[in-house]
């Protein structure tokens, strides 16, 4: 096992009716800015529940945070907050709203150009306190300190992470997600699955507990994912997918083990270039990365084949191939295509993605830092 | 899945050489009281590592906290702290030192008789900050807010839990545990295993992820436990057992599921009466409780039999019986006897245990509150 530090102070309030807890979780004297996205919370009842819980609070609103939240939008919120002397942020939405709000929290007290927090990884020394109400199980943002933001002007999608932007609390009510369209649930399942794979499917590190915890999440997503798609109001299935998505990226399963993240780095470029949903880029990239990297990943790919997919016969090469195929089939089965062509993206994009990665120095990705430009090209070519 | 709140702000520093981090984790201006037990830390190098890390700090010492830490001892530390204006506690030891130090932390600012914190569950509103260096993987105290204390005068063993006594940080260096005697490692394995079972082996609650997380810990203890007993300096095996013990009782696997804890309640009485090690009481009590409660626990006992022990043939009754037998055999195999007679305790103790539980109103234990005095009697009678 590798040395590690684990720290995650987020208070989770999980279950039916938990939105009402906002009344006590946010200080009564706070001036609250509620951030949200396209406005679906106003039709699905979440907005009304939040406002009812905060009826004794001073609440302003900032809507319109888009998927892959944009710097240009978020800076408008920063201006509003400085002007209105807001001192508590409540993000109500999915990963994009939460990520965007973390950036806002860090940007408000930041001196200088806030984009430097991501582009130059400039240190921050303060952030506004924030809480969240999660309406889309997927990214894990509700229980981590990571934020991914896109700069529209340059089509750059970058991230930062800092303990100061851990949410103080996150409310996870599965019922608040019942009205989501199936495509967003499918995306969430793929996102959580891939987060788990990025921390699990590397090389053995004498960490059998971490392996089993990761396999627990994968098996549960495989079992519960199709259930929640078939019946969106099946509370148990939705709750189980939601809990999987949170634990897939709260630091637990990655503690003490090597991590990959090449799929995410490549996927971010596809989103920046083609505005593909984050999860869809992962569904396209992961199978190819696993295939190209199967040398270094062989031991874990065989373990994954056996423990997650029950594949026990055939040569090592055949079992790895089957496991990758089953992964691709699972993504397709939850409604997420795994081929660039399904999204109208041609092979012309491959050299552009490679060039963009190279231009930012990302020439050696993966847990062994051995996935270079040629490997990225091959991985994408496998998913045309 | 049941509604739940999960909050665990403990910062874990896990791995080789992490004791050196104390230098930065404890504020330089703090007046530190280092608490410890029987003094083994002075022969195994841990004391020297701690003192080296804190060479720039003001450090006082309080040794002699015994297994099943006693109120009478801990109150002496409270006096010392008030006199010396200590403002940070560093517990260096196993679960007893950590539990005792949590009580001290709460008792120092408490107005009134500190025993009321346990006996009357009197609310606390402040506690000294504390950190820990764990030297014995077992109780999970390093990452939870629970403290169990024994009042010698009345032979009462009671507990309290409060967020204010979460450690600010805990250092877990597997190498600091290499010199432990085998019996203590065996105890730790049984303790972690039983903590997991108390949260897992109840009834199905539509929580497949929690089930698998618990099974992950059980399987890893079964795999790594014998390894670390066979070779105490096998770093990976010891690290894996240590991480299992922490995750067995940090709130994660119990979030959203029913919990039992009857075995602990009964075991505490055996410790109070006969000074049996905590884990040894669990090894005695758990098999009997599972057998007596197998009606309400049938679905989970069958799942446990199959997923943890690979038992798939026989009638339901036979498979449950086999699973309980395998559990007993595992405890014995890690060096922990599971019969009262092995500890020189006769059947005379059974009515005394039952009477003590009844006298404190514990007449309906377990996840279904259906384990009464007669059930406790039967459970203990199965482990004579």
Which of A2, A208, A240 faces B240 most closely, judged by CB atoms? Answer: A208
Rounded to whole angstroms, the Cα distance separating A367 from A365 reads 7
Query: Cβ A216–B209 below 8 Å, yes or no?
Result: yes
Say if residues A5 and B13 touch (Cβ distance below 8 Å): yes
Residue A156: its pLDDT value, please? 86
Please tell me which residue of chain B has the smallest CA distance to A11: B7
Helical segments of chain B, H only: 22-25, 46-53, 71-84, 95-107, 116-119, 182-200, 208-230, 235-248, 262-274, 278-292, 298-309, 316-333, 349-359, 373-381
Distance CA A300, CA A287 (A): 15
> Please, what are the domains in chain B?
11-176 (3.40.50.1970), 182-381 (1.20.1090.10)
Say whether A7 and B12 touch across the interface (CB within 8 A): yes
What's chain B's length in residues? 384
| Contact (CB<8Å) B236/A1 | yes
Q: Which residues pair with A93 in a beta bridge?
A: A134
For each of chain B's 384 residues, which pLDDT tens digit applies?
999 999 999 999 999 999 999 999 999 999 999 999 998 999 999 999 999 999 999 999 999 999 989 999 999 999 999 999 999 999 999 999 999 999 999 999 999 999 999 999 999 999 999 999 999 999 999 999 999 999 999 888 889 999 999 999 999 999 999 999 999 999 999 999 999 999 999 999 999 999 999 999 999 999 999 999 999 999 999 999 999 999 999 999 999 999 999 999 999 999 989 989 999 999 999 999 999 999 999 999 999 999 999 999 999 999 999 999 999 999 999 999 999 999 999 999 999 999 999 998 999 999 999 999 999 999 999 999
Give the span between the Cα atoms of B326 and B330, in whole angstroms: 6
Q: Tell me the CA end-to-end span of chain A in Å, nearest whole number.
A: 37
Report the pLDDT value the prediction gives residue A360, as an integer from 0 to 100.
Answer: 87
User: Smallest CA–CA separation between B114 and chain A, in Å?
Assistant: 28
In this predicted structure, what is the pLDDT of residue A355? 97
Question: Who's near B191: CB < 8 A, 6+ residues apart?
Answer: B95, B138, B139, B245, B278, B279, B282
Which residues from chain A sit within 8 angstroms of residue B1, using beta carbons?
14-15, 236, 239-240, 243
Q: What is the SS3 assignment for B73? A: helix
Segment holding B105, helix H or strand E: helix B95-107
Read off the DSSP letter of residue B337.
-
Residues of chain A with pLDDT under 50: none
Name every chain B residue with its beta carbon within 8 A of the beta carbon of A208. 220, 223-224, 240
Interface list for chain A against chain B, based on CB atoms closer than 8 Å: 1-18, 206-210, 212-213, 215-217, 219-220, 223-224, 236, 239-240, 243-244, 247, 252, 255-256
Per-residue pLDDT at B81: 98
| Facing residue for B217 by CB, picked from A4, A209, A255 | A209
CB contact under 8 A, A236 and B9: no
Q: What is the pLDDT of residue B355?
A: 97
Other Cβ atoms closer than 10 A to B226? 17
| Residue numbers in A near B12 (CB within 8 A) | 4-7, 255
The shortest C-alpha distance from A6 to chain B (Å) reads 5
Chain A residues in contact with B212 by the CB 8 A cut-off are 212, 215-216, 219-220
Are A5 and B14 an interchain contact pair (Cβ–Cβ within 8 Å)? yes
Nearest to A6 among B14, B208, B240 (CB): B14
**Tokens representing B5?**
């709140």
State the best of B2, B4, B6 to mutate against chain A, taking most chain A CBs within 10 Å.
B6
Q: Which of A101, A95, A94, A80 is nearest to A40 (CA)?
A: A94
Q: How many CA atoms lie less than 13 Å away from A369 in the CB half-sphere?
A: 2
Contacts of B5 in chain A (CB under 8 A): 11-14
Please tell me the distance from the alpha carbon of residue A231 to that of residue A218, in angstroms, as a whole number.
20
Adjacent-strand bridge partners of B6: A12
Q: Count other Cβ atoms within 10 Å, centred on residue B20.
A: 14
| Contact between A240 and B5 using a beta-carbon 8 Å cutoff | no
- Of B7, B207, B252, nearest to A11 by CB-CB distance is B7
In this prediction the pTM is 0.97
Beta strand segments in chain B, E: 4-6, 11-14, 31-35, 58-62, 88-93, 130-134, 146-151, 156-161, 169-172
φ, ψ of residue A169 to 5 degrees: the values are -150, 160
A222 φ, ψ (degrees, to nearest 5) = -65, -35
Alpha-carbon gap: B201 to the closest alpha carbon of chain A (Å): 17
CA atoms within 13 A on the CB side of A98: 28
Chain B residues whose CB is inside 8 A of the A217 CB are 209
Q: What is the C-alpha separation between A174 and A233, in angstroms, rounded?
A: 9
Q: Is B214 helix (H, G, I), strand (E, B) or coil?
A: helix
3-state secondary structure of B74: helix
Give the residue carrying structure tokens 């990655």: A254
| pLDDT score for B39 | 83
Helices (H), chain A: 22-25, 46-53, 71-84, 95-107, 116-119, 182-200, 208-230, 235-248, 262-274, 278-292, 298-309, 316-333, 349-359, 373-381
CA–CA gap between residue A83 and residue A62 (Å, rounded): 13
Q: How many CB pairs under 8 A join A and B?
A: 119
Q: Cα angle at A239 between A238 and A242, to 5 degrees?
A: 85
Report the residue from B3, B17, B236 with minimal CB separation from A14: B3
Q: Please say whether the beta carbons of A126 and A109 come within 8 A.
A: yes
Return the pLDDT at A157: 85
Of B4, B8, B15, the CB nearest to A3: B15
């Amino acid at each position: 096992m590798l040395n590690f530090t684990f720290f995650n102070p987020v208070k989770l309030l999980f279950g039916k009716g938990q939105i009402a807890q906002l009344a006590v979780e946010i200080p009564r004297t706070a001036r609250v800015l509620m951030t949200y996205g396209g406005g679906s919370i106003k039709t699905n009842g979440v907005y009304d529940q939040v406002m009812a819980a905060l009826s004794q609070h001073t609440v302003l609103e900032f809507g319109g945070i888009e998927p892959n939240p944009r710097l240009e939008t978020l800076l408008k919120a920063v201006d509003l907050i400085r002007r209105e002397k807001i001192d508590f942020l409540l993000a109500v939405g999915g990963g994009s709203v939460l990520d965007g709000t973390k950036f806002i929290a860090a940007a408000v007290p930041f001196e200088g150009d806030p984009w430097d927090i991501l582009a130059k990884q400039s240190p921050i020394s303060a952030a506004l306190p924030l809480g969240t109400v999660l309406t889309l199980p997927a990214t894990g943002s509700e229980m981590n300190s990571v934020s991914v933001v896109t700069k529209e002007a340059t089509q750059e999608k970058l991230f930062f992470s800092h303990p100061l932007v851990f949410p103080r609390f996150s409310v996870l009510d599965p019922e608040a997600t019942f009205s989501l369209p199936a495509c967003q649930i499918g995306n969430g399942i793929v996102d959580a699955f891939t987060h788990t794979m990025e921390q699990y499917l590397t090389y053995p590190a004498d960490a059998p507990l971490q392996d089993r915890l990761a396999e627990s999440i994968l098996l549960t997503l495989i079992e519960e994912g199709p259930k929640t798609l078939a019946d969106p109001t099946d509370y148990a299935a939705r709750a189980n997918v939601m809990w999987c998505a949170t634990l897939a990226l709260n630091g637990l399963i990655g503690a003490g083990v090597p991590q990959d993240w090449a799929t995410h780095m490549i996927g971010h470029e596809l989103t920046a270039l083609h505005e593909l949903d984050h999860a869809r880029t992962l569904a396209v990239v992961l199978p190819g990365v696993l295939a190209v990297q199967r040398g270094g990943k062989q031991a874990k790919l065989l373990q994954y084949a056996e423990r997650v997919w029950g594949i026990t016969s055939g040569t090592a090469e055949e079992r790895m191939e089957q496991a990758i195929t089953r992964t691709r089939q699972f993504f397709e089965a939850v409604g997420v295509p795994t081929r660039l062509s399904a999204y109208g993206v041609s092979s012309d994009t491959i050299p552009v993605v490679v060039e963009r990665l190279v231009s930012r120095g990302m020439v050696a990705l993966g847990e062994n830092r051995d996935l270079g430009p040629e490997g990225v090209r091959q991985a994408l070519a496998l998913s045309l």
